[in-house]
Structure 1
């Protein structure tokens, strides 16, 4: 019997090391960035069993067999829909600035989605303005409403939005809600899903989380887009979830969330709607592509040339990462970035430092207090290198700054749902607008300056004198930053 247990022990140890070796080989042959591979190797070797389990659950981008199969079948019809846009009269690449040309060419190559001019963009930056505007547009809706959010949290004006949707449904408006199952879990526990469905509104939870699904799909893959499309003519996207900040995460000590949304009219609205249609079909297997944008006369105020950039599973890998890098490379005078979660890739870190070295005024605005402890410490691990390069880091004091924006030379901007971290850049379903419009850029630049005015700029000398225990914690989280 003793020999049997010895053999069993040896077999178990051998099996463990064979499994460990197999997972390590898998990490290496996936050919991701060295930092990501190194972080996973640390996890699986220094956290026995737990590390292997973590990699099997979270290490690779598994969309799930049924969703992956549907996505592959969708490439051709959606590709044909987007290809028709190249014949639209508002596809005017010759009107682009030199900033927009490189981004547009990159998106033509990677996504085959053209930029279109003749749009009108309104920047909205207070919860009251955003929610009241959405409610007003819902009240005026005649045919259809599509809403897609990572978080819908009940309470306050968010409930007013739900009530407005019920009123619209009673008028005969067709309404679809696609909400991330994890991000909107409080909504799905509330009275609203049953009330909305009882009035004929389709409410679908995307990427449902359950113990069984963990073996077939990566659990932390999330639908992070924020989209509203009304009658295929009015669109919204930006950083704000469907929440009233007065009723959301009030016990975390970070203050109210500070967000923006962009209200859009013009030919790019159907493109945003098509992105949402993609998500709806991946989740439900129901195809409802929108009508192509109509060739309406362009209003004098509709001057924005906009590139819609979806990213995430089913889209070309690293597309938003490449767009961000290209934007930083194009900068000649000034870069301003706002992001709640700052955990850049090695390439982005190098691009920011290099821009500062060549004389570009580089500014990064982040919240002083963060709702993610891991991100807070990982983020701080990059500050020293950036400060030494001359990058200005501003810590915002007015709440959890959740706005995601990049401004280049006060002329060209990126705005949408993408954080500057690995999760947004490589994992989640995201949406970004690249906007070529000096007037819109000026309004965003003014808002960014308001953030800076309500922030404290980090000082290199003081930063270098921070406590040793803080440096140690930063170094620990730095090792795992590629996985955050």
Structure 2
């Protein structure tokens, strides 16, 4: 129907016979980007799916997402990322788009400083991880992390523990019911160590929290498609916004507060009292963390 209407559609990283034999099957383009007339851009966590209906057979509730709208020079960087994805799949230059392509130099429209950071195969492998680690190590007062999937590597665990150890108020907000039992178990395997180090863990009860956001000291925000897991760090094609703006960070922090109001905080005593069988399953799932 869309093609008949003139919409150009390309399948990203299609799984075919050639790819199954000669290429990796676990790569995924996880970016969510919209660019309108080269002047307005959107990036964040939301897929083109009705959140009330998407994956409802998994009994996770309505998906809860967030997108950031932007104008100015950041839109150009966002569009270049999108066009790079198109060329990667079609092997076509962007020239064929003709008048439909409007890649312009946009003038600043506000006070925020925005870095658009694409990551994935073919780009510096550790770029997004180093960016997140820098944000965590740079925190002085407060660090709030929102992610649907929390499967950290050793470097991230050390960074979070270090932040809490130097007096930073660290809060991790995750969904109570993520979409995937194995992912949930693997994620929970890290909770006890975090709680022991004074890190707060809030489980969101209002649906499947899918927003990916980090706020640092109310001044800097990271926002986009990156989960706090090894797949996002090393395998997926992702895009993140690093925003230096008290106003934008305040908006994201207010959104995180809304999530926290619909969440329950875990306690170390209560978490340690979970059934022994559950602990065993979490430890087994943790062994598969690099593959999830």
TM-score under structure 2 normalisation? 0.95
Match of 2:152 in 1: 344
SS in 2 for 1:205: coil
Instruction: Return the alpha-carbon distance in structure 1 between the equivalents of residues 289 and 8 of structure 2.
Output: 38
CA positional deviation for 1:389: 0.4
Q: Does 1:467 align with 2:278?
A: no
Match of 1:354 in 2: 162
SS in 1 for 2:2: helix
CA positional deviation for 1:374: 1.2
Match of 1:331 in 2: 139
Match of 2:39 in 1: 233
CA positional deviation for 1:293: 4.1
Instruction: Return the alpha-carbon distance in structure 1 between the equivalents of residues 31 and 245 of structure 2.
Output: 23
CA positional deviation for 1:291: 5.8
Q: Does 1:451 align with 2:259?
A: yes
1:397 to 205, 230, 255: 205
Contact 1:340/1:400 (<8 A) preserved: yes
Instruction: Return the alpha-carbon distance in structure 2 between the equivalents of residues 248 and 375 of structure 1.
Output: 18
Instruction: Return the alpha-carbon distance in structure 2 between the equivalents of residues 387 and 285 of structure 1.
Output: 48
Instruction: Return the alpha-carbon distance in structure 2 between the equivalents of residues 364 and 373 of structure 1.
Output: 19
Q: For 1:171-320, what aligned pairs fall within 5 Å after superposition?
A: 195-288=1-94, 293-294=104-105, 296=107, 298-299=108-109, 302-320=110-128
TM-score under structure 1 normalisation? 0.58
CA positional deviation for 1:295: 5.5
Contact 1:344/1:420 (<8 A) preserved: yes
Contact 1:339/1:405 (<8 A) preserved: yes
Instruction: Return the alpha-carbon distance in structure 1 between the equivalents of residues 215 and 177 of structure 2.
Output: 23
Deviations 1:391-443 (A, max 9, x none): 00000000000000011011101000000111111001100000011011111
**How many residues are aligned here?**
287
Contact 1:343/1:422 (<8 A) preserved: yes
Deviations 1:298-333 (A, max 9, x none): 44xx11110000000111111100101000000000
Which of the pair has more CA radius of gyration?
1
CA positional deviation for 1:474: 1.0
Q: 1:222 to 1:295 in 2, by over 3 A?
A: closer
Instruction: Return the alpha-carbon distance in structure 1 between the equivalents of residues 200 and 17 of structure 2.
Output: 44
The one of the two structures with greater contact order (alpha-carbon pairs below 8 A, sep at least 6) is 2
Consecutive unaligned residues in structure 1, runs of 5 or more: 1-194
Contact 1:414/1:433 (<8 A) preserved: yes
Contact 1:342/1:419 (<8 A) preserved: yes
SS in 2 for 1:197: coil
Match of 1:132 in 2: none
- Please tell me the root mean square deviation across aligned C-alpha atoms, in Å: 1.3
SS in 2 for 1:461: helix
Instruction: Return the alpha-carbon distance in structure 2 between the equivalents of residues 314 and 230 of structure 1.
Output: 26
Match of 1:375 in 2: 183
Q: Determine which structure has the larger helix proportion and give its number.
A: 1
Instruction: Return the alpha-carbon distance in structure 2 between the equivalents of residues 295 and 345 of structure 1.
Output: 38
Match of 1:410 in 2: 218
1:427 to 228, 235, 242: 235
Contact 2:205/2:263 (<8 A) preserved: yes
Instruction: Return the alpha-carbon distance in structure 2 between the equivalents of residues 278 and 393 of structure 1.
Output: 37
Contact 1:268/1:293 (<8 A) preserved: no
Instruction: Return the alpha-carbon distance in structure 2 between the equivalents of residues 259 and 459 of structure 1.
Output: 26
Match of 2:98 in 1: none
Consecutive unaligned residues in structure 2, runs of 5 or more: 96-100
Match of 2:247 in 1: 439
Instruction: Return the alpha-carbon distance in structure 2 between the equivalents of residues 341 and 240 of structure 1.
Output: 15
Instruction: Return the alpha-carbon distance in structure 2 between the equivalents of residues 202 and 293 of structure 1.
Output: 21
Instruction: Return the alpha-carbon distance in structure 2 between the equivalents of residues 389 and 197 of structure 1.
Output: 54
CA positional deviation for 1:248: 1.3
